[in-house]
Amino acid sequence: MAEKRITIQATRFDPDKDEKPHLQSYDIPFADESMVVLDALNHIKSYVDGSLSYRWSCRMGICGSCGMMVNGTPKLTCSAFLRDYWPHKITVEPLNNFPVIRDLVIDMDDFMHKLKSVKPWIIRKQEIPLGAGVHRQLPAQVTEFRQFSECINCMLCYSACPVYGLNDKFLGPAAIALARRYNLDSRDQGLKERLPVIAEAEGVWECSFVGECSVVCPKGVDPAKAIQQTKLDTTLRFTLPYGNRD
Amino acid sequence: MRTPVQMSTPPAQRTYSWSMPSAWWTRKRHYLLYVVREFTALPMALWLLWLLYDIKRAGSGPAGFYPSRSVFFVIFSAVCLVFAMYHSYTFLKLAGVIIHVKVLDKPVPPRVIVFMMFGLLAVASIVIGAVLIGFAR
Amino acid sequence: MSTETRKRPAYAHLFWWFMFANGGGLAALVLPVHILVQGILGPLRIVPVVDQHYDTWVSVLGNPIVKLYVLALVALSFFHFAHRLRYLLVDFGLHAAKSVPAQVIFYGGAVVVTLVTIWVLLTTAPITFG
């Protein structure tokens, strides 16, 4: 029986040699129905063209490293099965809306900077004394923020967001979702510190609720929901005496 | 003791900058529907401007008054109605995402909120329809 | 980072969004029935509608509650339209739509429509409680 094969088109860009990125085709064996796009890239790098550059790590959808455009949609390549595309060719490109460093590797400094700016950690005005033990939370209190804590910082949402694509100053879906995760955490007292960042001009207000971020999120975080709820809460905070857990 | 060796900064990389394709919104159905949703504001605004004009006409005295009856106006209204209904559908559905309330310490599920929003739409339509028709000859 | 400008809440954006949300909600709830009844059923004479006859239209418009309702509907809706259409231009790549002059044009336009509405409501159909 003839061996099954599949064509992968991958973006190549060598900053020292190329003016701009271009696509290169690779024809590889599709030996196993469980193969994902990341497996295909690894095969290319191992056996066909060792110069292909891309990021990956856990290969199981939890580290957030392997995000790339697969046929025009931002996906984790470790979770994109070849069988869903075969026999058509698969085009793998670097994540949209980011500068390209090389091949399929993008510059993520902007995201890292934005993530840090929302202070995604528990902020306390006063640490509880050691003798008091741990912070206690009811299951209902965990449920408040649980969904937004699932973010793996894969940046697929930034890639899907046309607002970010048009304006890279926009704070962006993941950063706002994570800000909300901490603002909703009963252990946190940092809402006031995060407010100037999320409520500034390039913060939540830039979002026009396209909603594509939530569509592509591999962990079901629903950053679009987080952003809209943040808009509402921030507005109510200034128009009503709205309780926060300071 | 020697001072620690400074790490030399790597040579500046030439990155390839992103530029947004101008027809980005044609590339995915979801993006196109988003643009349609945003666009609904324009026909709705135009129809409301007609309503203002319709109100103004009541000031022209009984002799000068004429109601809108032209075929063009009905077609215009029909087109605006389609856009207005799409606005209502998308806006009220999304209101379920954004509104988060608790009743007796339990969060109200989004679909209940959405159901209430559409219920409100039905009630408002019936009440206003009753006024517009009930007070007519 | 000391080179960063200090961030602060953008109260103007907050206000425009607030108006956008309220206007959109009101328009979503009431505009379809107005268009259906006054724009289609009435002109086609499928049902009798208030604005098809002078005396019924004037008597309804004389009611101050009706005037307030029309004002709220038009004013809030136009702030919604202004905000949405301004950002639609941004989506189409017109970055100038973010500038302060653009905000003046769009939100100022909504203010103008609101003022015109007040003028129309005050000069048409004297207030009666009938």
Look over chain C and give the mean of its residue pLDDT values, rounded to a whole number: 91
- Interface contact C11-A195, CB threshold 8 A: no
Within a domain: B20: no
Distance of alpha carbon C16 from alpha carbon A235, whole angstroms:
10
Distance of alpha carbon B49 from alpha carbon B26, whole angstroms:
30
Look over chain B and give the mean of its residue pLDDT values, rounded to a whole number: 89
Residue A90 or C5, more confident: A90
Interface test with C, best of A192, A194, A205 (most C CBs within 10 A): A205
The tokens describing A192, both together, are 């006031």
pLDDT tens, residue by residue, A142-171: 999 999 999 999 999 999 999 999 999 999
Domain ranges of chain C: 14-123
Q: What is the DSSP string of B63-83?
A: HH------HHHHHHHHHHHHH
Within a domain: B9: no
Distance of alpha carbon C54 from alpha carbon A49, whole angstroms:
81
pLDDT at A47 over 70: yes
| Range with the poorest average pLDDT among A27-31, B13-17, B22-26, C102-106 | B13-17
- Interface contact B18-A13, CB threshold 8 A: no
Instruction: Tell me what percent of the residues of chain A surpass a pLDDT of 70.
Output: 96
pLDDT tens, residue by residue, C64-91: 999 999 999 999 999 999 999 999 999 9
Q: Give the single-character DSSP code of A134.
A: S
Q: What is the pLDDT of residue C2?
A: 42
Q: Report the domain count for chain B.
A: 1
- Using a CB-CB cut-off of 8 Å, the residues of chain A touching B25 are 162
- Using a CB-CB cut-off of 8 Å, the residues of chain A touching B31 are 162, 210, 212
- Interface contact C33-B132, CB threshold 8 A: yes
Q: What is the pLDDT of residue B11?
A: 55
Interface test with A, best of B24, B40, B97, B100 (most A CBs within 10 A): B97
Q: What is the pLDDT of residue A245?
A: 41
Contacts of B4 (CB under 8 A, 6+ apart): none
Q: What is the mean pLDDT of residues C99-114?
A: 95
CATH number of the domain bearing residue B82:
1.20.1300.10
Category of B90 on φ-ψ map: left (φ > 0), alpha (ψ -120 to 50) or beta: alpha
- Interface contact A211-B38, CB threshold 8 A: no
Q: What is the pLDDT of residue C70?
A: 96
pLDDT at A241 over 70: no
Q: By residue range, what is the domain housing residue B111? A: 26-59+67-134
Backbone phi, psi, residue A22, to 5°: -145, 165
- For C43, the closest of B51, B74, B121 (CB atoms) is B74
- Interface contact B16-A21, CB threshold 8 A: yes
Q: What is the pLDDT of residue A123?
A: 95
Residue A57 or B3, more confident: A57
Nearest residue of A to residue B106 by CA position? A140
Q: What is the mean pLDDT of residues C44-72?
A: 93
Nearest residue of B to residue A229 by CA position? B98
- Using a CB-CB cut-off of 8 Å, the residues of chain C touching A115 are none
What domains, with CATH codes, occur in chain A?
5-106 (3.10.20.30), 109-239 (1.10.1060.10)
**Burial level of C11, CB count in 10 A (0-12/13-18/19+)?**
exposed
CB B48 within 8 A of CB C77: yes
pLDDT at A242 over 80: no
Within a domain: B105: yes
Q: What is the mean pLDDT of residues B32-46?
A: 97
CB A67 within 8 A of CB A74: yes
Residue B84 or B8, more confident: B84
pLDDT at A227 over 60: yes
Distance of alpha carbon B132 from alpha carbon C60, whole angstroms:
9
CATH topology classification for C14-123: 3 helical TM bundles of succinate and fumarate reductases (1.20.1300)
| Range with the poorest average pLDDT among A125-134, A220-229, B18-27, C80-89 | A125-134
- Global pTM? 0.91
CA of A50 vs chain B CAs: smallest distance (Å): 21
Confidence of residue A112 (pLDDT cuts 50, 70, 90): very high
Distance of alpha carbon B27 from alpha carbon B5, whole angstroms:
51
pLDDT tens, residue by residue, A177-218: 999 999 999 999 999 999 999 999 999 999 999 999 999 999
CB A133 within 8 A of CB A46: no
Q: List strand residue ranges (DSSP E) for chain C, in order.
A: none
Within a domain: B87: yes
pLDDT at B45 over 50: yes
Within a domain: B16: no
Within a domain: B15: no
Q: What is the mean pLDDT of residues A31-54?
A: 97
- Using a CB-CB cut-off of 8 Å, the residues of chain A touching C90 are 166-167
Distance of alpha carbon A28 from alpha carbon A201, whole angstroms:
48
Partner B contacted by A105 (CB < 8 A): no
Distance of alpha carbon A148 from alpha carbon A245, whole angstroms:
18
Look over chain A and give the mean of its residue pLDDT values, rounded to a whole number: 94
- For C9, the closest of A163, A167, A199 (CB atoms) is A199
Q: What is the mean pLDDT of residues C36-58?
A: 93
CA of A238 vs chain C CAs: smallest distance (Å): 9
Q: What is the pLDDT of residue C3?
A: 45
CA of B25 vs chain A CAs: smallest distance (Å): 8
Q: What is the pLDDT of residue A236?
A: 87
- Using a CB-CB cut-off of 8 Å, the residues of chain C touching B70 are 43
